[in-house]
Amino acid sequence: MATPISISLLNVFLLLFSLEKGYAVEENEATKSYLHVVKVNSLLPTTACNHSSSKVSNSLSLEVVHRHGPCIGIVNQEKGAEAPSNMEILLRDQYRVDSIHARLSSRGMFPEKQATLPVQSGASIGAGDYVVTVGLGTPKQEFTLIFDTGSDITWTQCEPCVNSCYKQKEPRLDPSKSTSYKNISCSSALCKLVASGRRQSCSSSTCRYKVQYGDGSYSIGFFAAETLTLSSSNVFENFLFGCGQQNDGLFGQAAGLLGLGRSKLALPSQTAKEYKKLFAYCLPASSSSKGYLSLGGEVSKSVKFTPLSADFDSTPFYGLDITGLSVGGRKLSIDESAFSAGTVIDSGTVITRLPSTAYSELSSAFQNLMTAYPSTSGYSIFDTCYDFSKYDTVRIPKVGVTFKGGVEMDIDVSGILYPVNGLKRVCLAFAGNDDISVFGNVQQRTYQVVYDGAKGRVGFAPGGCS
């Protein structure tokens, strides 16, 4: 007798064979269990913002929007704020992945490899795609900041900007007009939090910080304390941050960055007394919709947790362990050792990277179930692409990721395919990598992703943005 898995796979082949021959196909629950039926136009971004948003009850929620989408408003309408091309997005994404590898290599986790990171005017920040609005200073001034789970320090551009600043949405923070601003002294123990190696950087007696991102963009300035306002009832005095005086790169006119990493300097640690190092977000299915970033509150029973990997405890990153993949309802024959280097879950990486052996199995299985549609040439980091320009509806196999502890995550349909040239070239939204896996933000879409630093775990719940 055939196993349930083989029956499921046979059904998929029969269904796709019928589609290829133009036979009518009856939709049923079994079909829906391993296939997505997708209107092809839904794969493309829209120019109008869907203003409906969601939030988590019993917690502080900040609205999340994509920094190149229509929901961010005037930012992308001003001259010089054009969204980058898909080729630029994917190139910068690779720089970020290379940067993650370099930071882990510096801690002896992986062999060094050559990586050329450009430092150029107009380079987009390798820190993330999604922004929130927070308040700094007294009186409060609001700023649009990119939030990033792979970064520790929060910073924003400041007056008088003695070296160089890029154009941003809001006026820059002026410390001279804030009654709560304080520079950190170079003699303070706090200055060691931003020391490069064992060396502290100082300007006269004032502590300085420097941070550089995966594509070479950077911020340099004064390390300071200021009042952070997340809501009228969530105000944090003496919040440590960077007051940027030299900043290079086109940051999509965001004012800076909100660090959600694992160090003592990151927001979760600085607000641990109030939020217990607990935060969550939901990234919307497209750049034309809104999500949220929540801090503290209750954890829903629908959230399934996987433990943080101890291998990454000394790094800024949240490390997980992938144990398996599935395509079309069938678990792929990949030994768990293929994922032994670990996985970084990262809000700033766009496309998920998998070890080459695992990606090869995933791509092959996906291609075997997509023979009804014409393939086309690859694009940048993608090698599995299709031409949907002559279709109104397509059926694509579901893709699943299993994490340690048996936590299964069915990737939302918006995280399986990535259109790079309209409908003429739509690609499988995964890529291969030399060693570690990086779980990117496209594959996290529509899920509530919960980071519980106090208990050393990360959780997932589907339908998080609804």
Instruction: Render pLDDT for 410-420 as a digit per residue (tens, 0 to 9).
Output: 999 999 999 99
Known catalytic membership, residue 148? yes
- Which segments of 75-167 are extended strands (E)? 130-136, 141-148, 155-157
Q: Percent of the chain scored above 70 by pLDDT?
A: 83
Known catalytic membership, residue 346? yes
pLDDT at 56: 62
pLDDT at 21: 43
Residues 170-220: tens digit of each pLDDT: 999 999 999 999 999 999 999 999 986 546 788 889 999 998 876 677 899
Q: Percent of the chain scored above 90 by pLDDT?
A: 67
Residues 419-432: tens digit of each pLDDT: 999 999 999 999 99
pLDDT at 250: 58
Of 129, 215, 346, 412, which is the active-site residue?
346
Question: Which residues sit opposite 263 in a β-bridge?
Answer: none
- Which segments of 93-217 are extended strands (E)? 130-136, 141-148, 155-157, 182-183, 201-203, 206-212
Residues 361-406: tens digit of each pLDDT: 999 999 999 999 999 999 999 999 999 999 999 999 999 999 999 9
What is the pLDDT averaged over residues 348-352? 95
Structure tokens at 231: 């809501």
Structure tokens at 298: 């209750």
pLDDT at 321 > cutoff 80: yes
Does the pTM exceed 0.75? yes
Whether 351 contacts 90, CB under 8 Å = yes
Q: Using the Cα atoms of residue 449, residue 215, residue 266 and residue 320 in order, give the sign of their dihedral.
A: positive
Structure tokens at 464: 């998080």
Q: Coil, helix or strand for 440?
A: coil
Place 104 in a pLDDT band, splitting at 50, 70 and 90: confident
pLDDT at 270 > cutoff 90: yes
pLDDT at 199: 63
pLDDT at 80: 47
Residue linked to tokens 């900040």: 62
Of 148, 248, 321, 410, which is the active-site residue?
148
Place 46 in a pLDDT band, splitting at 50, 70 and 90: confident
Cα separation, 35 vs 397, in Å, equals 4
**CA of 313: how far to CAs of 214, 258, 263, 376, in Å?**
21, 21, 10, 42
The residue that leads in pLDDT, 443 or 111, is 443
Whether 396 contacts 410, CB under 8 Å = no
Residue 63 host element (H or E): strand 60-66
Residue 271: CB atoms within 10 A of its CB come to 21
ω into 316 cis (within 30 of 0): no
What is the pLDDT averaged over residues 335-359? 96
The residue that leads in pLDDT, 141 or 252, is 141
